Structure 1
Amino acid sequence: MSIVQSKGKALLLMSLLLCTFLSLNAQRNTYSPYSRYAYGLLHEPVMGQSVAMGGASYGLRSASYINPMNPASYSAIDTLTFLFDFSCSANLSQYREQDLRGLNFGYTLDHFAMKFPLSKHWGLAMGLYEYSKLGYLYGASGVLPGMQGEDDVTYVESYSASGGLNNLFIGTSISLFDCLSLGINWNYKFGNLSYTNTLSYSNSLYKGYAENDLLYLRQSNFDFGLQYFQKIGKKHRFVVGATYSMPQKFYSEVNSTHIVRDTLQVAPDADYRFSTPLSYGLGLSYTFDNRLTVAVDYAYQDWANAEYYSHTDTLASTQRLALGVEYLPARMADYYYQVIKYRAGLQISDSYINFAAGNLKDISLTFGAGLPLKGQRSVLNLAFEIGKTITPNKQFIQENYYKMTLSVAFNETWFMKRKFN
């Protein structure tokens, strides 16, 4: 296949994935009750091997994967190849509130991204991923006693949220002195968030209402990455990684409508302020003989000082700890199972939702494998996650979830110069 044909097919695939991504993400693919708050459930751009390694990413660098979590990793690139990665996932969630039980299933296209060389020590990456997602529908009903001999009045109230934010990124990094890499990502976040509350009565004498807030948010910001890597002897390699992102305001537009007794009221545009926080991450990885890798991450996000509806006391700062391991039985082997990369990980994190009773926490176990495709350098990555939301007390809705992620990293030769006699 010629280089032109390969590039044409890649561009066609990217166009199809873009349409699919925007179409799927316009639908509700999460039903978590905690997605109703703030910007919804937040997602980190964890890709490739990191998904099954508990999300540990800051200290990982590989020519075979794309790692937007630390843009300094882009300089780990084969000068002859083009790397394309896309991922989809499905999740099953169980909910429990006292004697009530719920079960929901969702799916989504998580991301697609590409990476290619600009020179021997200079790489570039770009892609699109889901930054946050809202998808919540909760209802309750009851009966009010009638007045002066009238019939009882039934009421129904509902709370729902939908929409989300996507993140387009373009990043580059350069390697210096064969031991240091510096990188930068430009991010463009965009999307719409919708929150709706309704209350209706069976008796028209009671005042029902419907409220809707629709947020249009846009933002451009940068994050920076650094990796220091050192090989000791022939078999030992250490990588130390760090990232930093500055706080940044959103460009926002808020449309609020209220309907009371069939009367529509449109609130005047308000100059609310929204922002994302200062954040930083630190990571370390150790690789032995290119067969065993252990990685650990720590991340902090200062959401307590980020603005939401112009307030800085609405959200809570978060911390995340991730630990992952990858094992390759043999680099060259007679049996396929010996060249599969086996992975496992653990992640513990806080929620940025600020409840008076205390913060939510999330803990999850991951495991999976990197399956090399026959006759190619491309890899099929499979990851499973079992997680639980830990609440301050039993009055909160309890949530357990099970997630499966499937991603494919296509590694194709694009830049080889052909020789002719």
Structure 2
Amino acid sequence: MIKKIIVSFSLLLSLVSFAQEGTSSPYSFYGIGDVKFKGTAETRAMGGVSVFSDSIHINLQNPAHYAGLKLTTFSAGGSALNTKLNTESQSEKARRTTLDYIAIGIPAGKFGFGFGLLPYSSVGYKILNLADDTNNFSTQYTGIGGINKVFLGAGYAITKKINFGLDVQYNFGNIETKSYRYLTDVQNGTIEENLSKIQGVNFTAGLTYQSKVDKKHTFFGSLVYSPKANLKLSNERTITVSDQVDEQPVQNLNFDFPSRFSIGSGFGEVRKWLVGAEVTLQSSSDLKNRFDDINGVVFENSTRYSVGGYFIPNYGSFTSYFKRITYRGGLRYENTGMVIQNKSIEDFAVNLGLGLPLNGTFSNLNIGFEMGKRGTKYYNLIEENYFNLSIGLSFSDRWFVKRKYN
């Protein structure tokens, strides 16, 4: 078991080495970047629905689910994103590969604990405006970085039906953006570099409910709340002209991390099928840009709707591997909270996925496919058509058991 974890962890570290930019979206220039974490590979394949309490998977969207773990679980996931960016007159393609999460969940009677790392948001874009007959200047814009979260959480089974959980998250990261402006046929230009160093703490509380409706069917309910939190941004700006570097005075910011409230419910037969829905409300209107002179966008409160579920033909089949596969699907619609050119930026995606059990263990490999569209190519904006491949590894076993024989 330990060997499997070490091998998987090494593979993921190799994945990270190619994943300095977790997004290729020009929209990531605004706010805290493009929010990448939308759940583990299992929940993403169901459109983000996370109401189901699973004893062998870590649910990172509601800390109350830690109390439902029966086995110690190591979970990690990554994704490969292919995006086609369209305007009314141009089209470009981009690819990114990134680590999505690393987490460990540990059961302890009525308690359950979880900790890990989440690359939460990402900035990554490169835009080139070439000179033309009416403009002798060419401009290039680039951005990298993002926010990471280290988290520690615990869940407690209040009753057989109700679990409560709480986790604390430390946010940290750097966001660096550059603009390079130069005249045609002139070697040196002007470079403006902006750097924001980000840190802060926020909390998430969760509640889950699970009750039998009849002998076969179960109702699931979920509540998650994250209060508004404060992030500190240490800002720096330099302007370079002909190798002469000039540091510019800029203000540091206290940045409000939006509050978030999520409610969901589901109905199904455990280890057979589930259908669920979830709504997430976020006070994105509290967001602002990292520097006071960044304009062109305002923020509004965002809403996300998720519908999805899973189906397992025969969980305990000894004769057919395909009957033990978990088949997942879902839909997701989101108003992202950004308003550009008086147009709300919307995101819609279709999800499919497979949960592939590893023979002889409680572990599995989860594969998810996501196809979606964000933004629009009209109103001088950009439409992003993307295809996302997610892979999650979930290793579950009994740890910390004293051996009877050496």
Which segments of structure 1 move beyond 3 Å, counting only runs of 4 or more? 9-25, 260-263, 306-314, 415-421
Given the alignment, which residue of 320, 324, 328 partners 1:339? 324
Select 2:39's aligned residue among 28, 41, 46: 46
Output the CA distance in 1 between the equivalents of 2:327 and 2:5: 31
Confirm whether residue 55 of structure 1 aligns to residue 48 of structure 2: yes
Contact 1:384 1:404 in 2 (8 A): yes
SS in 2 for 1:376: coil
Q: 1:356 aligns with which of 325, 328, 341?
A: 341
Query: After the TM superposition, which residues 120-131 of structure 1 pair with which residues of structure 2 at under 5 Å, given as runs?
Result: 120-131=109-120
Q: How does 1:113-262 map to 2 (within 5 A)?
A: 113-118=103-108, 120-143=109-132, 154-202=136-184, 209-260=190-241, 262=243
The answer to whether structure 1 residue 72 and structure 2 residue 61 are counterparts is no
Q: Is the deviation greater in 286-295 or in 211-220?
A: 286-295
Residue-by-residue CA offset, 1:279-309 (whole Å, 9 max, x unaligned): 1100111122530111111001101123444
Letter in 2 for 1:140: N
Deviation, 1:374, is 1.0
How many residues get paired? 402
**Counterparts of 2:4 and 2:321 in 1: how far apart (Å)?**
28
Query: C-alpha displacement at 1:233, in angstroms?
Result: 2.5
User: Which deviates the most, 231-240 or 174-183?
Assistant: 231-240
Q: Distance in 2 between matches of 1:286 and 1:168?
A: 32
Aligned equivalents of 1:21, 1:377: Cα separation in 2: 25
Quote the Cα distance in structure 1 between the aligned partners of 2:82 and 2:253.
36
2: distance between equivalents of 1:54 and 1:100?
A: 30
Contact 1:45 1:129 in 2 (8 A): no
Tell me how far apart the structure 2 counterparts of residues 419 and 265 of structure 1 sit (CA, whole Å).
69
Q: Residues 243 and 285 (structure 1 numbering): CA distance in 2 closer, same or farther, change over 3 Å?
A: same
CA distances 1:66-115 after superposition (whole Å, capped 9, x unpaired): 1110111110011xx31011111111111112232211111112111110
Question: Aligned with 1:128: secondary structure?
Answer: strand
**Counterpart AA for 2:213:** I
Task: Give the structure-2-normalised TM-score.
Answer: 0.91
TM-score w.r.t. length of structure 1: 0.88
Q: Does 1:318 align with 2:302?
A: yes
Report how far residue 17 of structure 1 moved: 6.8
Seen in structure 2, the aligned counterparts of structure 1 residues 17 and 251 have a Cα distance that, compared at 3 Å, is farther
- Deviation for aligned residue 1:19: 5.1
Is this contact kept in 2: 1:24–1:109, CA < 8 A? no
Q: 1:279 to 1:383 in 2, by over 3 A?
A: same
- Contact persistence 2:341–2:379 (CA under 8 A): no
Matches of 1:30 and 1:19, distance apart in 2:
18
Displacement of 1:228 in angstroms is 1.5
C-alpha distance in 2, partners of 1:22/1:317? 32
Greater shift in the superposed pair: 92-101 or 263-272: 263-272
Deviation at 1:12? 4.8
Shift of 1:394: 4.9
Structure with max Cα Rg: 1
**Superposition deviation, residue 40 in structure 1:** 1.4
Task: For residue 408 of structure 1, report the CA deviation from its aligned partner.
Answer: 1.1
Q: Deviations over 1:11-48 (max 9, x none)?
A: 856874785576444x1242222222222110235014
Residue 36 of structure 1 corresponds to 29
- In the alignment, does 2:350 pair up with 1:365? yes
Letter in 2 for 1:161: G
The whole-number CA distance in structure 1 between the counterparts of 2:287 and 2:111 is 34
Deviation by residue 1:209-265 (Cα, 9 ceiling, x = unmatched): 321110000111111001111112221111111111111111221011123455432
Structure 1 stretch displaced more, 255-264 or 121-130: 255-264
Deviation at 1:62, TM superposition (A): 0.8
2:91 corresponds to which residue? 101
What secondary structure sits across from 1:352 in the alignment? Answer: strand
Residue deviations 1:147-199, cap 9 Å, x none?
Answer: xxxxxx84211111111111111110000121111101110111100111121
Separation in 2, partners of 1:365, 1:318? 19
Q: 1:255 to 1:402 in 2, by over 3 A?
A: same
CA gap of 1:16–1:290, structure 2 versus 1, over 3 A, is closer
Distance 1:82 1:154, change over 3 A: same
Matches within 5 A, 1:282-293: 282-293=263-274
Aligned partner of 2:385 among 400, 405, 415 = 400
Provide the C-alpha distance between the structure 2 equivalents of 1:144 and 1:284, rounded to a whole number of angstroms. Answer: 59
Among 85, 105, 115, which residue is 2:75 paired with? 85
Give the distance between the partners of 2:402 and 2:251, measured in 1 at CA: 58
For 1:295, give the aligned amino acid.
G
Structure 1 Cα separation of the partners of residues 370 and 357 of structure 2: 21
Q: Distance in 1 between matches of 2:162 and 2:86?
A: 49
Residue deviations 1:127-146 (CA, integer Å, cap 9, x gap)? 1111111110101122467x
Give me the identity figure in percent: 27
8 Å CA contact 2:41, 2:391 repeated in 1: no
Matched-pair contact (CA < 8 Å) for 1:360–1:392? no
Tell me if structure 2 keeps the 8 A contact 1:291–1:331: yes
Asked if the contact 1:273–1:310 (Cα under 8 Å) also holds between the matched residues in 2, the reply is: no
